[in-house]
Copies of this chain bind each other. A is one copy, B any other.
Amino acid sequence: MPRSSDSPPRTGPVRLGPTARTALRPTADAVVAAGFWAARQEVNARVGIPQGPFLLESAGNLHDLRLAAGEERGEFRGDYPFMDSDVYKWLEAASWQLGRLHPDSPEGRRLADDVERIIGLVAAAQQPDGYLNTWFQAGKGAGRYRDLRWGHELYCAGHLIQAAVAHHRATGRERLLDVARRFADHLDAHFGAPGSGKPIDGIDGHPQIETALVELYRETGERRYLELAGYFVDRHGHGLLGGEAYCQDRVPVREARTVEGHAVRQLYLLAAVADLATETGEAQLHAAGERLWSAMTATKTYLTGGVGAHHHGEEFGGPYELPAERAYCETCAAIASIQFSWRMALLTGDARYSDLIERTLFNGFLAGVSLDGQSWLYVNPLQVRDGHTDIGGDQSARRTRWFRCACCPPNVMRLMASLEHYFASTDGRGIQLHQFATGTFRGDASGAPVVVSVSTDYPWDGRIAVTVEETPTDREWTLALRVPQWCTSFSVQRRSTERRTGGGPDGVGDPGDPESRDVEPCDVEPCDVEPCDVDVEATADRDGWLRLARSWKPGDRVVFELDMEPRLTGADPRVDAVRGCVAIERGPLVYCVEGADHPGSGLDDLVLDTTRPLAVKHRPDLLGGVTTVLGSGLRRPSTAAGWWPYPSRSGDGGRVTDGATAGVPFDLVAVPYYAWANREDGAMRVWLPTS
């Protein structure tokens, strides 16, 4: 439902400040109208977000706010000092959602009522001096700012600020923003470096306040918030919290060589590093962002884009320490990775960052919410054994309605509700399409608006049709398409054409279509800054962009077609955990095999027969409609293992022979990883032994 036409531009989570210097800038008014992500956003809007108030009531969060507001008496119910943040993340999600609804629609009114009610509670719970944390206000813990390592007061403040910024951007209302500013002012009055006259030289054990304060600066123009964010970022790593890597306190981020400690904490901190580099132009922070992102991506990221190898401490492991089964890959860490990467994408203009975002969105992030939007995964392993033997609470690989530590569900909601803002950008000389989804995206060409519409059935189909909807006629600009890192073959066609009034669903005719014109081959490779009148097989540009620069006319169309053949993917040999295995991928999707598709037999003895080809079959009936990949499996003969599972190989000269090729053949069905655990709590594997 469209918003009223006199609304201000609809912006998202990262809106740069006036002095920001970046390669790219986010665009306003992005719309994802149909297709894969629109369906996920619809579930989020119809099921995910509306259930929030009920769940926050059941878990006690709202009760505890009412206690703090003096509106209710009773026992404090929260188990942790960070439970207010669940409320704030939900408010942020609901605010982004409000931004896409007409305020007079029934859904818009209903959601606005919920939001206003809960904002009222938050405002009432705030103490006169601006402080707000129900845990400490209930007398639990050591007292205000007395346990910064574990108290999460600034972390909660950060989520409050982010919610307030979202609410203000989406609705123009000031009420929650006022609450946030008062808390931010309270923090600014209390925290500062020695000699600043502020009483506390301290940081929060869980970063989040830093990136939030930068965003508050962007929203309010108040430079104190930016400076406070910079202070917090730079005081990490000096032992204020005992020097623990877990709390991002072992080494200053400017000196850090790799990501470490609690993954979510690390990545929220790095989002702030990118924010500060963006707003201040500080080269050292810019370099730290690039260096740490590269270290993370090259050595500590799972195939799914998930991060965090250790259950213990929810932390990054060592380089290449990426166990499939004990992957932690917290859903929140995937979200934090996307937030960090998006800021780096804007800062640098490098398409790699959006490559990682795509991979993380379609796999490590999306697995965190069930297809029906009603249950969640906290951890996202890449392997579950037969018998689904993992036992445990939040950290089990079972979809759960809500968690005792419920950080992930509202975090998914807020990203999903603002997802379109991560899909396109402008550099002032055109538009960059980072992600591919049917919708409308807006850019800028030397001050003139540029609008393109996209039509695609991605990720099931590799054809992405881009139509120029609005363009200045007096100047050249560049349409930049990200060539995905996974893509080894693509083609692009441009058709200068009059606006069609009928035709295929994507508005682009077949090669023989009489409305297609001006199709000329072009042998520029890579297709670069020069205009390209197309039908070309090309490789990606050095920085991952295919740039089509020319004077465009309304109705001009580009068809970008990515080869979607399924592929087998290996791993750097230093990834010990998956030696001798491959994964199946297709397009941006990582695939897995699930017990549900192989009834009556386990997955632990499975071997992939790589001598047989893979096939593809779209299954509209399965898991909400997925393209499956069909392969040939071999089941190792069931061996009576004996009492000791480590046989001597001495007899055959030390050569290891698994005897796998002597297995029993069977048809192997792979489904997208994001859709796993939607049928049963069964076995699953991404990495498949080859012999």
Contacts and interface: CB of A to CB of B under 8 A. Distances in A.
27 contacts: A260-B391, A297-B643, A298-B643, A298-B644, A299-B641, A301-B645, A310-B326, A317-B326, A317-B389, A319-B385, A320-B604, A321-B325, A488-B650, A569-B647, A570-B656, A571-B646, A572-B646, A574-B604, A574-B605, A574-B645, A581-B656, A582-B654, A583-B646, A585-B648, A610-B653, A655-B690, A656-B690
Interface in A10-26: none
Contacts of A317: 325-326, 389
A645 B582 contact: no
Contact of A570 (B319, B390, B567, B646): B646
A622 interface: no
A149 interface: no
A284 B679 CA distance: 38
A585 to B, nearest CB: 8
B570 A299 contact: no
Interface in A34-68: none
A352 interface: yes
Nearest to A583: B646
Contact of A319 (B301, B389, B485, B486): B389
Contact of A645 (B575, B614, B649, B655): B575
Q: Which 3 A-B pairs have the closest CB atoms?
A: A318-B389, A311-B312, A610-B654
Contact of A576 (B261, B311, B325): B325
Number of copies of this chain that the complex holds: 2
A329 interface: no
Interface of A: 245, 250, 260-261, 294, 297-299, 301, 303, 309-313, 317-321, 323-326, 352, 355, 383, 385, 387, 389-392, 395, 485-486, 488, 565, 567-577, 579-583, 585, 604-605, 608, 610-611, 614, 636, 639, 641-650, 653-656, 658, 660, 689-690
Q: Give the interface centre of A390, A580, A647 by most chain B CB atoms within 10 Å.
A: A580
Nearest to A658: B573
A583 B648 CA distance: 9
Contacts of A321: 325-326, 385, 389
A391 to B, nearest CB: 5
B650 A565 contact: yes
Contact of A298 (B323, B585, B636, B645): B645
Contacts of A390: 318
Given A319-B385, A660-B573, A313 B392 contact: yes
Nearest to A581: B579
Nearest to A245: B391
B646 A303 contact: yes
Contacts of A573: 605, 636, 658, 660, 689
B385 A648 contact: no
B385 A569 contact: no
Contact of A650 (B387, B568, B574, B581): B568
A655 to B, nearest CB: 6
Nearest to A388: B318
A325 B611 CA distance: 32
A666 to B, nearest CB: 17
Contact of A577 (B570, B576, B653, B658): B576
Contact of A582 (B389, B565, B585, B649): B649
Contact of A580 (B318, B646, B656): B656
Given A392-B313, A654-B610, A576 B646 contact: no
Given A325-B576, A579-B580, A385 B320 contact: yes
Q: Give the interface centre of A250, A313, A641, A643 by most chain B CB atoms within 10 Å.
A: A643
A245 B577 CA distance: 26
A616 to B, nearest CB: 14
Contacts of A654: 568, 582, 608, 610, 614, 690
Contacts of A260: 391
B326 A644 contact: no
Contacts of A395: 312
A660 B297 CA distance: 24
Given A320-B604, A689-B573, A644 B392 contact: no
B568 A648 contact: yes
Given A310-B312, A568-B648, A568-B654, 4 more contacts: A570-B649, A573-B689, A579-B580, A585-B648
A569 B320 contact: no
Contacts of A298: 641-645
Nearest to A611: B653
Nearest to A325: B321
A383 B572 contact: no
Contacts of A352: 643
Nearest to A636: B573
A323 B323 contact: yes
Contacts of A689: 573, 576, 579
A156 to B, nearest CB: 25
Contacts of A387: 318-319
A480 B646 CA distance: 26
A551 B301 CA distance: 68
A645 B571 contact: yes
Nearest to A312: B311
